[in-house]
Amino acid sequence: MSLLVVKDLCKRFGGLQAVDNVSFAVASGSIKALIGPNGAGKTTLFNLIFGALLPDSGQVWFDGKQTDGWKPHQVAAAGMARTFQHIRLFPKMSALDNIAVGRHVHSRAGFLASMLGLPWTRREQRAVREKALEIMRFLGVEELADGEATSLAYGQQRIVELGRALACEPKLLLLDEPAAGLNMRETSEMAKLIARIRDTGVTVLLVEHDMTLVMNISDEVLVLSYGEKIADDKPLAIQKHPEVIKVYLGEDDA
Amino acid sequence: MSLALLFQYLVAGITYGTIYAIVAIGFNIIYNATGIINFAQGEFVMLGGMIGVTLRALLPMPVAIAGAVIATMLVGALIEMLFIRWLRRPSVLRLIIITIGLSIAIRELALLLWGEGVRALPYFTGTAVTSLSVGDVHISPQVLWVLGISAVMVAALNFFFARTLLGRQMRACACNREAAQLCGISAKNMVTLSFVLSAGIGALAGCVISPITYVQYDSGSSLALKGFTVAILGGLGNSMAAVAAGLLLGTLESFSIWVMPAAYKDVIAISILLLILFVRPSGLFGNAEAARLKDY
Amino acid sequence: MKTPGILATLILASLLGAGATQARGPTIKIGAIFSVTGPAANLGGPEARTLEMLVQEANKRGGIGGSQIELVLKDSASSPEKAISFAKQLIEEDKVFAIIGPSTSGETLKIKGIAEEGKTMLLSCAAAEAIVNPVASYVFKVAPNDSHAARRIFEQMKKMGIAKIGLLSSNTGFGKAGKEQVEKLAPSFGIGIVANEVYEKEATDLTAVVTKLKAANVQAFINWSIEPAQAIVIKNARQVGLSVPVFQSHGFGNIQYAKAAGPAAEGVIFPASRLLVADSLPAGDKQKPVLLKYKQSYEARYHEDASTFGGHAHDALLLLGKAVEKAGGLDKEKVRAALESLQGVVGTAGIFNFSAHDHGGLDMDAFEMQTVKNGKFVVYSDAAAKQ
Amino acid sequence: MGRRRNLPIVALAMAVIAVQLLTAAAGKPQYLTQLTMAGYYSLVIVGLTLLMGYTGQISLGHAGFFAIGGYTSGLLTTYNLHPLIGQIPVSILQACGLLVSGKDLYGADLLVVRPWAACVVALLVTIGIAYLVGKPVLKLKGHYLAMATLGFGTIVYKVVLGSSLVGAADGISDIPAFPLFAGLVVTGKSALRAQNYYVAWGLVLGAMALLTNLIRSRVGRALRAIHGAEDAANAMGVDTGRYKLQMFVLSAALAALGGVFLTHYNGGIGPSEASVMKSVRYVAIVAVGGMANLWGALFMGVLLNFLSLRGSFGSYDDAVFGLILLAIMLFAPDGLLRAEFARRLPGLRRGQKAAP
């Protein structure tokens, strides 16, 4: 059973075909990695799936619904969450508040109810806070709760951003280079964390350059080159795929 | 409407349009170098006119105008160095507010220095009633001066940006600040230079148009608003397009008086501005991508 | 817990203490609200300067009613909300004897009720007839009626056989008031307005507007404004070859505009106070000494030409002084009654004759038709015009 | 639990009362006039603080909304419907009790809209315009947003200045008092000065209570998230477009409320209320108050407006605001009061923590 199905997706920027007729599926409960050289169209593909960009053609099906053309917040409400390649935490807000924003789709107080401070909105606020703390405990960073998010160490910011996405309780988690900028120890911890997240039942689609991480935790690997899909297989098969070796592994020597 | 009348309106439109276009070019130069919209641009025009009139009392006109341009350029440099240069990674919001603050400060200073009186340079050729007539269409020689000086200015700017080392350095900074700095160009100096240039252009405009429009301490802001409109209409940063957009807006305004009271002339201009912002923020003549590849 | 609210209280409290003013010797406080800056700075500027000068002069002579004048001058920048706040402040806190100003009709109309409630004389320098109609017992006005100016213009037009005119005005209070009077009175003189345009006060070129007049084949046009635009209008009119007689309002009575328009201003006909032509008035003219005195002292002190607006401030203070004199003391009620009954006071704007029904005091004689000749204002005469 | 949350509001209420008592004790009850006016302007300022400081959307056109509110209410309560008596729409309004008759200054019969109804219409009109304007405008960012809002403000200014229906340059005068309820009347009569002070500040208190609740809520968090990183907020499920629009409309409605009440209090309104300089002044006050500091903005708003309305800055009124803008943005872009308060009163700014 596939949670996410991408069909014939295309996106062109001026003269550049950033994503060229890409189709694939992500099985529920699995980790799928998206790899490819710089400029292969990985982040563009993420943005297309998430609704941050509109595809020129093709379809995106998520959880049985066709979601291409939706706005990101609609996609998020449907059960998808993401992190960003360049960390996009909310400045001047505590780590806890950052994660609490992730609870947005699971709470409902609007302008009027909030302004009037109705009792249920306060209960909801407490629940949001509890849930955010719970996530921080799960990630092992509850001591960072009150620190200003953007002044934390880089590795900690990555964790908080991951926590913010987890707070959405997504069915599908899109991680854009979760290990970028992390050292080796942090990277392996991140790998373990992603595996743990998958074990809680969350499906993961990730873009990553760190091949050790990709090969260790992925169930499947999709390879893009110049916007085109050139392979989509189990990690071991990918490592032996001649095309992949040629365009990617060959030059990267990973 | 007779043909002569039609042309008379066209002449009026071209007069307005050219005035707006010169103000718009001033915006574009700073925008290109810094990404800032200088809300005090109209004040450069006012300062130019005021200083020009003041110097005119002592010096012959061409010298007075040159003096006004140089003095305003100094003011431009001073403003950049005192208020912009040392800011570290200022947000757009902050820059908007700073330039608004500057425009108020300059205006109030001008009120203090020159009072609320209205001034003007004399007509460059002829007098207030002189007009050249082609059939039944009449045109003031000063309008020709405005047109001519604007044309020379646009040509000179084009030459400067395309052919001179300094101009090319400025463009390099506008395209990619980091890369330009790696090549040994001081980005900060280029920003100062952009303020100097645009102050100078504003001042020259202020002198040339003052016989037609007069100048008063608060005449900058309404000119600035039209200048913005034209700059955005043409596509921010594109000065050739600004000239075209200026003429378009000027003509529209001039003919609008047949359909609406003249008191709503500005309303029309601004409505066009809003419409453009909503529908085509890159301007009439630019496409979105060209707007991003900021070229003079 | 400390809150900014409490902090606010503390600061406000300290302000309250600091704000108290000390009482000094025998003084009489006179409030003034002028638009020294803002859209009507052309009015308020000279008015404020005039008053400052005259108060100083008066104090040197011993003040009025034996008391030194303390002038409390407020710049309202033509904002009614400020005028309202200032009027209440002047009346309730400063307990001023009278208020001179405001410069604009819009502001005056908004504080008319406040002056009336506070039983404080208000001598407005604005022209709208609504200021004194209906009569409010404490509200007077020293500027001549726009309708009188309009009538003078129409009378002149009749003489010249003009029946079809264009009307231009600026989008300011001054322009609006004049436009209304011209529109109202034109039919009774058998004059038709065939083109009627309001332009922005910031207008920098009015070619399109005058072209429209030209297209309408007007026999003459009236322009009613106080801004630089009134010079631009005549220039543009001449440039597009519109050579019909040009009438302007008394707002044209500011020589800098005539100078700015240069040769285009020649021959413009307008009704205005005799202040502008004080030098060329016949020796027997009643107003001449008053006019010359004000004009000379203003011009000597500020190095700029005296304008009729500054004259309004002069007249307001003059009238107040006469009323105090007549009442024989500084009793507000008596002075008010005296002011209301003043007759034949010669001011810069004309000769004031107040009554219980007329708090304006000026008649059509306040205006003299004038024109520009060789860059100077001169009295208009049909004979001279024909030469 | 609710007690600590409401402490700042209670403190403000006490401060309001204390100021009134102090002015009375100091023999300066006249100060309440400018404090009342400043209170109404504060409604614009606190709304704008939420829009600019919290949501990160600049508006150089808020004076426009203030003016739309004031002018609409002023026009409706002065426009004489008497000559139209007998016509069906007027009869319907009459039957609904929305009209009130009286005499004008010259003793002629006057039939105008009841202030309550006018107030409601003014708010609805403003909300409608804010919605229509905000929808396209808020899609813009940076300079474009600033320009578009400035353009909107200028249009409102030019329209009121050019329309003889609303008195053109003179504005509207002789606007009647606004009887609220239980004998409370919004009017500038000096006898009712203290009463009006409490009406104004009651409104401010109400607005502050609502807004402080808002910033501590899910919505407030989402608004700050939009300010910080709009794309990320959107990805977390925040409908950024809708939130920005709702905030814009809310702040416009607050501005209009201030406009309606001040107009009835002053008994008139003029084009100066719609001028661009007025909008810039509101922005200056929000900036000096600390951008995202509701209390700072309220305090600075009252202080600066109070001084300005008393004429303390003389002819340098605009210059003062220009220099304030410059100085703050150059040396303390986060505002004067913010750094200070953030250190001392974390509970005020981080509502999350103040709530147990």
- Over residues B4-38, the pLDDT tens digits come to 778 888 888 888 898 899 889 998 888 887 778 89
**Assigned domain for B129 exists:** no
| Size of chain B, expressed as the number of residues it contains | 296
* Whole-structure pTM value: 0.91
Question: Shortest CA distance to C244 belongs to which of C347, C162, C184, C326?
Answer: C162
Q: How confident is the model at residue D345 (pLDDT cuts 50, 70, 90)?
A: very low
**Contact yes or no for B257 and C171 at CB 8 A:** no
Helix (H, G, I), strand (E, B) or coil at C239: helix
Query: Is B131 domain-assigned?
Result: no
Amino acid at residue number C387: Q
Chains B and C touch (3+ CB pairs under 8 A): yes
pLDDT confidence of residue C1: 35
- Å between B230 CA and nearest CA of chain C: 16
CB-based contact, C64 to chain B, within 8 Å:
no
Q: What is the CATH number of the domain that holds B248?
A: 1.10.3470
Interface of C with D in 35-64 (CB under 8 A): 36-39
Determine the average pLDDT of the residues in D247-275: 96
Chain B residue numbers with beta carbons less than 8 Å from the beta carbon of D230 are: none
Residues D144 and D92 in one domain: no
DSSP B122-181: PPSSS-TT--EEETTEEE-HHHHHHHHHHHHHHHHHHHHHHHSHHHHHHHHHHH-HHHHH
D144 to chain B nearest CA, in Å?
7
pLDDT at C152 over 50: yes
Q: Is the pLDDT of residue C255 over 50?
A: yes
Write down the pLDDT at residue D17.
96
Residues in chain C closer than 8 A to B262 (CB atoms): 197-200, 203, 206, 208-209
- What is residue C317's predicted lDDT score, i.e. its pLDDT? 96
Nearest CB to D26; choose among C17, C37, C82: C17
Greatest mean pLDDT among B81-95, B275-289, C305-319 lies in C305-319
- Residue C79 near chain D (CB below 8 Å): yes
Q: Any chain B CB within 8 A of the CB of D132?
A: no
Distances in whole angstroms, Cα of residue D269 to Cα of each of C108, C111, D182: 12, 11, 26
B111 contact C CB<8A = yes
Residues of chain B in contact with residue D52, where contact means CB-CB under 8 angstroms, are 93
Among the partner-chain residues D58, D161, D277, the one whose CB lies closest to the CB of B96 is D58
Other CB atoms closer than 10 Å to residue C242's CB: what's the count? 19
Q: Which residue of D has its CA nearest to A116?
A: D210
Domain shared by D275 and D211, yes or no: yes
Mind listing the pLDDT tens digit for each residue in A134-170?
Answer: 999 999 998 999 999 999 999 999 999 999 999 999 9
User: How sure is the predictor about C314, in pLDDT bands with cuts at 50, 70 and 90?
Assistant: very high
Same-domain status, D155 and D26: yes
- Closest among A127, A159, A124 to A143, alpha carbons compared: A159
Residue A190's Cβ-count burial label (10 Å; 0-12, 13-18, 19+) is buried
- Give the Cα separation of C52 and C55 in Å (integer): 5
Tell me what pLDDT residue D355 has: 34
Query: Which chain C residues are Cβ-neighbours of D309 within 8 angstroms?
Result: 81-82, 85
Closest residue in chain D to residue B87, using alpha carbons only: D330
| CA closest to A103 among chain D residues | D236
Contact D330 B83 (CB under 8 A): yes
**Confidence class for position C24, pLDDT limits 50, 70, 90:** very low
Question: How near does any CA of chain C get to the CA of B169, in Å?
Answer: 37
| Structure confidence by residue, pLDDT tens digits, D103-152 | 776 777 888 999 999 999 999 999 999 999 999 999 998 888 998 999 99
Beta bridge partners of C370: C270, C379
Q: Where is the domain boundary, D67, D97, D113?
A: D113
State mean pLDDT over C249-261.
83
Neighbours of chain C (3+ CB pairs under 8 A): B, D
Answer yes or no: is B130 within a domain: no
The residue of D40, D170, D294 whose CB has the most chain C CBs within 10 angstroms, and thus the best one to mutate to test that interface, is D170
In order, the DSSP letters of D163-187 are -GGGTGGG-B--PPPEE-STT-EE-
The per-residue DSSP string of A135-177 comes to HHHHHT-GGGTTSBGGGS-HHHHHHHHHHHHHTT--SEEEEES
**Binding-site residues on chain B for chain D (CB distance < 8 A):** 37, 83, 87, 90-94, 96-98, 100-105, 107-109, 221, 225, 228-229, 232, 236, 261, 263-264, 266-267, 270-271, 273-274, 277-278, 281
Number of domains in chain B: 1
- Separation between Cα atoms, residue B99 and residue B44, nearest integer Å: 12
Residue C384's pLDDT is what?
64
Six-digit token pair at B76?
């431009």
D344 CB burial (10 A radius; 0-12, 13-18, 19+): exposed
Domain assignment present for B128:
no
Per-residue pLDDT, averaged over C329-333, amounts to 89
Binary contact (C207, B11; C-beta < 8 A): yes
Residues D125 and D153 in one domain: yes
pLDDT exceeds cutoff 60 at C13: no
Q: Is D318 on the interface with B (CB under 8 A)?
A: yes
Instruction: Flag whether B207 is in a domain.
Output: yes
Residue C379 has pLDDT above 50, yes or no: yes
Chain B residues within 8 A of D332 when measuring between CB atoms: none
What is the mean pLDDT of the segment spanning C158-187?
A: 91
Pair of tokens at residue D14: 């006490």
Instruction: Based on the fold, state whether residues D86 and D193 are members of the same structural domain.
Output: no
- pLDDT at site C387: 52
Q: Which of C202, C268, C372 to mutate to test the interface with B (most CBs of B within 10 A)?
A: C202
Q: Is residue A251's pLDDT more than 60?
A: no
DSSP string of A11-80, one letter each residue: EEETTEEEEEEEEEEEETT-EEEEE-STTSSHHHHHHHHHTSS--SEEEEEETTEE-TT--HHHHHHHTE
Predicted pLDDT at C119: 94
| CB within 8 Å: A104 and D216 | no
pLDDT digits (tens, 9 = 90+) for A90-102: 998 999 999 999 9
Residue B174 inside a domain? The answer is yes
Same domain, D88 and D128: no
Instruction: Report chain C residues whose CB lies below 8 A from the CB of B219.
Output: 202, 204
D339 pLDDT higher than 60: no
Whether residue D142 lies within 8 A of chain B, CB to CB, comes out as yes
Query: Are D33 and D170 within one domain?
Result: yes
pLDDT mean over B205-232 = 88
The pLDDT value given to residue B268: 85
Closest CA to B51 of B33, B67, B63: B67
Neighbours of chain A (3+ CB pairs under 8 A): D
Average pLDDT along chain D: 89
The pair phi, psi for residue C79, each rounded to 5°, is -95, 120
B-chain CB neighbours of D142 within 8 Å are 92-93, 96
Residue with tokens 């009633």: B129
Average pLDDT, chain C: 87
Q: Which domain holds residue D96?
A: 79-113
- Inter-chain touch C208–B262, beta carbons under 8 Å: yes
Contacts of D343 (CB under 8 A, 6+ apart): none
The domains of chain C, with CATH numbers, are 25-144+291-356 (3.40.50.2300), 146-272+367-386 (3.40.50.2300)
Q: Is D329 on the interface with C (CB under 8 A)?
A: no
Task: Establish if D164 touches chain C: CB-CB under 8 angstroms.
Answer: yes
Same domain (yes/no): D85, D135: no
- D231 in A contact zone (CB under 8 Å): yes
Give ∠ CA B3-B6-B10 in degrees, rounded to 5.
Answer: 140
Is pLDDT at A252 greater than 80 in this prediction?
A: no
Q: Is C23 on the interface with D (CB under 8 A)?
A: no
Q: Are residues D270 and D302 in the same domain?
A: yes
**Contact with chain C for residue D188, Cβ under 8 A:** yes
Q: Are C and A neighbours with ≥3 CB pairs closer than 8 A? A: no
| Structural contact between residues D299 and D209, judged by C-beta atoms closer than 8 angstroms | no
Residue B127 lies in a domain: no
pLDDT digits (tens, 9 = 90+) for A45-61: 999 999 999 999 999 99
- Residue B287 confidence (pLDDT) above 60: no
Mean pLDDT computed over B254-269: 80
Q: Is the separation of the CB atoms in A4 and A82 below 8 Å? A: no
Chain B 211-250, residues with CB within 8 Å of chain C CB atoms:
212-214, 216, 219, 222-223
Residue A39 has pLDDT above 90, yes or no: no
CATH of residue D7's domain is 1.10.3470
C276 pLDDT above the threshold of 50 = yes
Q: Please give the residue range of the domain that contains residue B49.
A: 3-122+136-293
pLDDT above 80: residue C236 = yes
Q: Is the pLDDT of residue D5 over 80?
A: no
Same domain, D195 and D222: yes
Q: Is residue B186 part of a domain?
A: yes
Higher pLDDT, C18 or B8: B8
Count of pairs with CB atoms under 8 A, one residue in B, one in D? 114
pLDDT at position B296 = 31
Rounded to an integer, the average pLDDT of B177-195 is 84
For the cut 90, the answer to whether the pLDDT of residue B221 exceeds it is: no
Domain count, chain D: 2
With beta carbons less than 8 A apart as the criterion, state whether A191 and A220 touch: no
Structure tokens given for A13: 């920027």
Q: What is the predicted pLDDT for the residue at D346?
A: 41
Residues of B in contact with C261 (CB under 8 A): 128
By Cβ distance, the residue of B16, B118, B123 closest to C256 is B118
Among A72, A82, A88, beta carbon nearest to D229 = A88
Asked if the C-beta of D140 comes within 8 angstroms of chain B's C-beta atoms, the answer is yes
| Same-domain pairing of D213 and D296 | yes
Q: What is the ipTM of this complex?
A: 0.89
Residue of chain B whose Cα is closest to the Cα of C241: B138
How far D213 CA sits from the closest chain C CA (Å)? Answer: 17
In chain D, % of residues over pLDDT 90: 68
Residues C232 and B118: beta-carbon distance below 8 Å: no
pLDDT at A249 over 80: no
pLDDT of A212 strictly over 60: yes
Q: Give contacts of D14 with chain C, Cβ < 8 Å.
A: 5-6
Neighbouring C-beta atoms of residue C103, cutoff 10 Å? 34
